[in-house]
Amino acid sequence: MKLEKEKLLDMYEKMVRIRKFEMKVEELHIQGILPGLKHLYIGEEAVAVGVISALREDDYIASTHRGHGHCIAKGSDIKKMMAELYGKKTGYCKGKGGSMHISDIDIGILGANGIVGANIPIASGAALSIKLRGTDEVAVSFFGDGAANEGIFHEGINLASAWKLPVMFVCENNQYAISTHQSRVTAISNMGDRASSYGIPKFIVDGMDVLAVHQAASKAVRWAREGKGPTLIECKTYRFKGHYVGEGSRELSYRPEEELEEWKKRCPIEKLKSELIEKNILTCSLAKKVSDKIDGEIEEAVKFAEESPYPDPQEALDDLFFEGALR
Amino acid sequence: MKLEKEKLLDMYEKMVRIRKFEMKVEELHIQGILPGLKHLYIGEEAVAVGVISALREDDYIASTHRGHGHCIAKGSDIKKMMAELYGKKTGYCKGKGGSMHISDIDIGILGANGIVGANIPIASGAALSIKLRGTDEVAVSFFGDGAANEGIFHEGINLASAWKLPVMFVCENNQYAISTHQSRVTAISNMGDRASSYGIPKFIVDGMDVLAVHQAASKAVRWAREGKGPTLIECKTYRFKGHYVGEGSRELSYRPEEELEEWKKRCPIEKLKSELIEKNILTCSLAKKVSDKIDGEIEEAVKFAEESPYPDPQEALDDLFFEGALR
Amino acid sequence: MRELTYAEAAVEAIQEEMEKDTTIFYMGEDVGRFGGTYGTTKGLWERFGEDRVRDTPLSEAAIIGYALGAAITGMRPIAEMMFADLLCLAMDQIVNQVAKMRYMSGGKIRVPLLIRVPLGGLRRAAAQHSQHLESWFVHTPGLRIIAPSSPYDVKGLLKTAIKENNPVISFEHIMLYQTKGEVPEESYVLPMGKAEVKREGRDVTVVTYSLMVHRCLSAAEKLSKEGIDVEVIDLRSLSPLDIETVVASVKKTNKVAIVHQASLTGGVGAEIGMRIVETAFDYLDSPVKRIGSLDVPVPFSPPLEDFVVPTEEKIAAEIKKIVRR
Amino acid sequence: MRELTYAEAAVEAIQEEMEKDTTIFYMGEDVGRFGGTYGTTKGLWERFGEDRVRDTPLSEAAIIGYALGAAITGMRPIAEMMFADLLCLAMDQIVNQVAKMRYMSGGKIRVPLLIRVPLGGLRRAAAQHSQHLESWFVHTPGLRIIAPSSPYDVKGLLKTAIKENNPVISFEHIMLYQTKGEVPEESYVLPMGKAEVKREGRDVTVVTYSLMVHRCLSAAEKLSKEGIDVEVIDLRSLSPLDIETVVASVKKTNKVAIVHQASLTGGVGAEIGMRIVETAFDYLDSPVKRIGSLDVPVPFSPPLEDFVVPTEEKIAAEIKKIVRR
Ligand SMILES: Cc1ncc(C[n+]2csc(CCOP(=O)(O)OP(=O)(O)O)c2C)c(N)n1
Ligand SMILES: Cc1ncc(C[n+]2csc(CCOP(=O)(O)OP(=O)(O)O)c2C)c(N)n1
Ligand SMILES: [Mg+2]
Ligand SMILES: [Mg+2]
């Protein structure tokens, strides 16, 4: 499969945007500016971008606690994202959601989710909706290796396969659920192998290689659009940061520094960058331009968030029920 | 594997006891004598007896809504069972449990269960207890094809395999969950194949053949006692009656009469009987003796239940908490 | 007027709405050709086919999660839990997802989703098939809760629930499904959050819902022969709660009992009672009385279960005590 | 006396008991070498090894079910849910299995099982990480519920909970874990079901538990400067509920407010309030006042969350209203 130059550059840019956004989030959190919990996507950019670049704009995704990357890849406005992280009224959820609940239904983002695995049936339900409406979008559920041990993983995928729904299950296997290595809590090495329990195709790919991810995802998308049902894509990846911002030195209690260093050498952005440079699609100066442009965007996002007002306390009472007419 | 004559006759007798007990239960229910819900084990006797005859007395089992057969195979007193079904004070649970909650912790019966799949982690927890105590019992969880689509199936088996616990997961695949054929709600044919999701051995056996079940179970028991961990045994079977007593003609709305008739020809008791007769282990007159003996036992059980008092209404308030000393 | 059973009236509501709106579909265990274990969907599969009346595997969490995913992407699902005790298997999807989805999105997402839940003891079904768990959901912001007691009400309230653009849970007592009542041929709806005075009376107010409405009405009849005039209010909805109707009655009678089948401690009766105390304290001649099931799991044996669940006799006796205080 | 944090005191309780009794073991997510996300098990893995301090996969239902299976076969497990919202994923095992197992067996089975549950808002953790769900469990017969507010209490109550031969849920507010307080070196236990009068007062009784104890005490201090003398009662246990201590206080002050962080409608405050009304109606000078979080999911943004959860100022203002009524 050959991707057009623009597409490749767009993928590169998105990965850089995710990375820089997350670095800014980390910085602002450590400075005590951002409240709440944040789980950074740094190191895993190739998964979100690889998968989502295989989607159409009208396709759906359902995201996780580690969700900023998915949103950015799907096209979220980072100004509204940053404002949400600040708890400002101009954020995606008017400050009601925060990092773990960003959603943008207009561009098919069904929401990040603070409950691990919970998005699996939600994305599948969107796929059911697609099937019932007779349209040809697809839905994607992202989740981690930890989520793959939750009961809802099983229920959700089984039903999707029984009903042949157009949904892709993307397991972002970064090997750890907080401090717990997957090998300590499951007896198999590839979560992708669980596809056989549901009679669906599996793809097990290098999650640090955005092109490999993109290729697998493209096949899965085609499979779904053709009405053949769900697929399970396992992307082997790694988070370069602690489980959440502020975990600090506790991280080293559960994963060896050498392991981290090894994986960092496989940085997905560096990898794509050198491939693109090799293919003469990217140059160092273009890369610099991209970097500068995104720095600017992020600065703007922070400024937007900073200058936005907090919601009025009374607004806490709004938005619980839809108050308009019945159907 | 060669089984001793006594063992084979004991297995035969147990199957007959289950069958006759269940037929009596059906009769009493239809007469309006027994209150509540009952799910009969008729047709599936080879599974309970095949598995449990591979166990020791000190091993544990956790049973289901369709649990009478497991209890009888494990050695329950049918007098106390019948009294419980009547709601009498002399029943296993003093009338508090009824058909779906019979337990007898003294002989390792951790309880029938009204929630499908819920016994899976409970049996596994007993296996964890065995491992922590350093003894060599095993635990068995029985459940249906329907249960195999519940999230708890996944969580329960995954953890048992990660921890290599001495537990056997026995899927009694009678193909239906109430009215729903498994092929309509799952894309694979053998629930046993799900063992691969957890890296554990599987056995897929003819659940109408008690010797085949026994053989698989014996291997699984050995595997467990040797500390090698859990196994998944799928027994293909069929219930000869409706989902619950009183389902009546609704049954035929979901399964064809011919299918039922085909399976009835494979009656597990008839099968064992003719095999034993062929091997000169059983004679027609001995079979008659067994039958008469069990008729007598059952008559006695009914008499015991009939003559037993109901609990005093006030006793509803007892047994909620253990009121004795702290540890 | 024609009579329908509660089950028939419920099905009719759904059928009428499904005919008008093809985005409505139904999913649950054995709801298809089997028509629902308790007849909750009888005839729907024949009429609408298996695309719109979908049998699911035993996967309660997935049932709700799927319905939610469909609800926020253009469909109007009706999801059924076979009985209330199974809600325990779907609590994350109901409480953490369905109830909060709109709010967490800052009001951008709509969740038009109806969850139907047969429930109730007195069927000798024992501890895991008899629970009344409504108070958990009353304690969960973001849900609407109905608990209709008659064929007329269940039809009218389900129609509204289906038209709602918010999540609704309908608790339907299994012992009511075969009861009959008048249901007009003409289409109608009933508003959620509006209680009904089922019987007027001067001496004491009894607030109740679901099956207990009938026990309270019988108790009231019995007491009327002893010269006690009982007003019986059927709440019909638990969220929102029509506290105005209750308080108006209490201001008239100055005495009140609340009756439900859920176990007493922590039941909805506590909430209703406190709302009365908060709003009508100075009108109360005696403490608000709560009558609920005893605080034990529901036992199997008939004499035990009958002791645990409020009976007509017990309700009558307690009301008498209040009036004679 | 030496000071410990709440987290340290809790760990000490567990450690002391685990040393004495090898049938006690601990299981949960990241409770091993990591020591618990909130430090709930810090040091236990080092001391007892990974057999007795077990990291589980993300499988909340299995965690509880396994603990139950072990509890009824000779072990005394302690199972942890990482935070209360995750209880939603284990409700079947907790409510249908753990709570009912003994009763359904006719009293033959014992369930010595402790479930530890960190919880609580005010951490800007938003709707799915901030819920106070204790009232669901108070409504579930068969469970004991504790909610200690200080290092001293958490140690004493956890010790008792571990010795109990019944299931206990311990709700521990995450914002308390790093708070310090005096804890004697000598071993001690505290009985479950015994409230503590944290501050004596004549004018009004405030009944509360968990983190809100501290906000109520601050409010009481503030009000004392305005001449209002507040009695503050820390319930410590929610099941059983020490209604005697509460009623004795109400009989003295004739006025009462109940404060909790759970959302108001259907919260434990309703139950407590009704018990007061039922037992001490004639002593009440004014309606029982409930103060809880507003009935919405917990919002993320700090000014929103601070508006939703009862603040010291709000508590003080409400108490003043009662006293001045
Ligand atoms: C159901 C559930 N269990 C536990 C948690 C607490 N928790 C949040 S993230 C996390 C680890 C998730 O691991 P994984 O699914 O591998 O995703 P990752 O964080 O590695 O991206 C845990 C245990 C939760 N939020 N939801
Ligand atoms: C979790 C749960 N879901 C649904 C039910 C209602 N129910 C009782 S038995 C049953 C069918 C179970 O099917 P299976 O596991 O195959 O066992 P079988 O009845 O065939 O022996 C159902 C749906 C239940 N009791 N528990
Ligand atoms: Mg992970
Ligand atoms: Mg079956």
pLDDT of residue D54: 98
D297: closest CA among A99, A318, A102?
A: A318
Condensed to tens digits (0 to 9), the pLDDT of residues A273-326 reads: 999 999 999 999 999 999 999 999 999 999 999 999 999 999 999 999 999 888
C139: closest CA among D168, A103, D133?
A: D133
Please indicate whether residue C129 is annotated as part of the active site.
yes
B149 interaction partners in chain C (CB closer than 8 Å): 57-59
Chain B CB within 8 Å of residue A185 CB: yes
Q: Is the ipTM of this complex over 0.85?
A: yes
Are B196 and A200 within 8 A, CB to CB?
no
Q: Between the CA of residue B33 and those of A33, B71, B244, B282, what are the distances in Å?
A: 71, 22, 16, 36
- Structure tokens that stand for B316 in this block: 């509803």
Sorted by sequence, the CB contacts under 8 Å of residue C104 that are 6+ apart come out as A93, A96, A97, A101, A103, A111, D126, D127, D128, D297
CB-CB contact of A229 with B226 (8 Å)? no
Directed axis angle between helix B151-162 and helix A151-162, to 10°? 130
- Residue in the block written with tokens 């985005």: C23
Could you give the CA distance from residue C117 to residue C137 in angstroms, rounded to a whole number?
Answer: 12
Residue C84, min C-alpha distance to chain B (Å): 12
Ordered by where they begin, the domains of chain A are 5-309 (3.40.50.970)
pLDDT at C231 over 70: yes
Could you give the CA distance from residue D297 to residue D84 in angstroms, rounded to a whole number?
Answer: 14
Ordered by where they begin, the domains of chain C are 3-182 (3.40.50.970), 196-323 (3.40.50.920)
Ligand 1, atom 2, residue with closest C-alpha: A116
Are C124 and B87 within 8 A, CB to CB?
yes
Spacing, Cα B85 to ligand 2 middle (Å): 20
Could you give the CA distance from residue A267 to residue C25 in angstroms, rounded to a whole number?
Answer: 46
pTM of the model: 0.99
Is A207 strand, coil or helix? coil
Exactly one of C129, C173, C214, C260 is catalytic; name it: C129
Q: Between the CA of residue B157 and those of B164, B170, B195, B229, C37, what are the distances in Å?
A: 10, 11, 9, 10, 29
Subunit partners of chain A (3 or more CB pairs within 8 A): B, C, D
Question: Which ligand minimizes its atom distance to the CA of C28?
Answer: 2
Q: How confident is the model at residue A17 (pLDDT cuts 50, 70, 90)?
A: very high
- Structure tokens that stand for C103 in this block: 């709010």
Rg (CA), chain A: 19
Is D3 strand, coil or helix? strand
Question: Which ligand minimizes its atom distance to the CA of A43?
Answer: 1
Parts of chain D with a pLDDT under 50: none
Ligand 2, atom 8, residue with closest C-alpha: B116
DSSP state of C188: -
pLDDT of residue B247: 86
- CA C265 to centroid of chain Cα atoms: 19
Could you give the CA distance from residue D257 to residue D325 in angstroms, rounded to a whole number?
Answer: 13
Chain C CB within 8 Å of residue A263 CB: no
Q: How confident is the model at residue C294 (pLDDT cuts 50, 70, 90)?
A: very high
Chain A CB within 8 Å of residue B184 CB: yes
Could you give the CA distance from residue D101 to residue B119 in angstroms, rounded to a whole number?
Answer: 12
Report the nearest atom of ligand 1 relative to the CA of D89: 1
pLDDT of residue B251: 76
Could you give the CA distance from residue A109 to residue A60 in angstroms, rounded to a whole number?
Answer: 6
A180 interaction partners in chain D (CB closer than 8 Å): 29-30, 32, 34, 55, 57
Ligand 2, atom 25, residue with closest C-alpha: B115
Could you give the CA distance from residue A41 to residue A67 in angstroms, rounded to a whole number?
Answer: 7
A40: closest CA among A31, A32, A48, A52?
A: A48
D266 interaction partners in chain C (CB closer than 8 Å): 135-136, 138-140, 268, 270-271
List chain B pLDDT tens, one digit each, 327 residues: 578 999 999 999 999 999 999 999 999 999 999 999 999 999 999 999 999 999 999 999 999 999 999 999 999 999 999 999 999 999 999 999 999 999 999 999 999 999 999 999 999 999 999 999 999 999 999 999 999 999 999 999 999 999 999 999 999 999 999 999 999 999 999 999 999 999 999 999 999 999 999 999 999 999 999 999 999 999 999 999 999 998 887 877 899 999 999 999 999 999 999 999 999 999 999 999 999 999 999 999 999 999 999 999 999 999 999 998 888
Bond from prior residue into B309 cis (ω within 30 degrees of 0): no
Q: How confident is the model at residue A1 (pLDDT cuts 50, 70, 90)?
A: low
Condensed to tens digits (0 to 9), the pLDDT of residues C124-174 reads: 999 999 999 999 999 999 999 999 999 999 999 999 999 999 999 999 999
Tally C–D CB contacts below 8 A: 139
Residue A313, min C-alpha distance to chain C (Å): 14
DSSP string, B58-120: T-EEE--SS-HHHHHHHT--HHHHHHHHHT-TTSTTTTSS-GGG--BGGGTB----SSTTTHH
D99: closest CA among B176, C88, C179?
A: C88
Mean pLDDT of the region A106-121 = 98
Q: Where are the alpha helices (DSSP H) in chain B?
A: 5-30, 45-52, 68-74, 78-86, 119-133, 151-162, 182-185, 210-225, 257-264, 268-278, 284-307
Chain A CB within 8 Å of residue B134 CB: no
B232: closest CA among B169, B163, B312?
A: B169
Subunit partners of chain D (3 or more CB pairs within 8 A): A, B, C
Sorted by sequence, the CB contacts under 8 Å of residue A246 that are 6+ apart come out as A29, A30
**Residue A147, ligand 1, Cβ within 6 A:** yes
Residue D81, min C-alpha distance to chain B (Å): 15
SS3 letters across C100-131: HHHHHCCCCCCCCCEEEEEECCCCCCCCCCCC
Spacing, Cα B197 to ligand 1 middle (Å): 20
Mean pLDDT over each residue of chain A, to the nearest integer: 97
pLDDT of residue A197: 98
DSSP state of B308: S
CB-CB contact of C197 with C167 (8 Å)? no
Report the nearest atom of ligand 1 relative to the CA of A117: 1
Are C103 and A96 within 8 A, CB to CB?
yes
CB-CB contact of B239 with B174 (8 Å)? yes
Are A314 and D307 within 8 A, CB to CB?
yes
DSSP state of D93: I
Q: Where are the alpha helices (DSSP H) in A171-227?
A: 182-185, 210-225
Ligand 2, atom 20, residue with closest C-alpha: B177
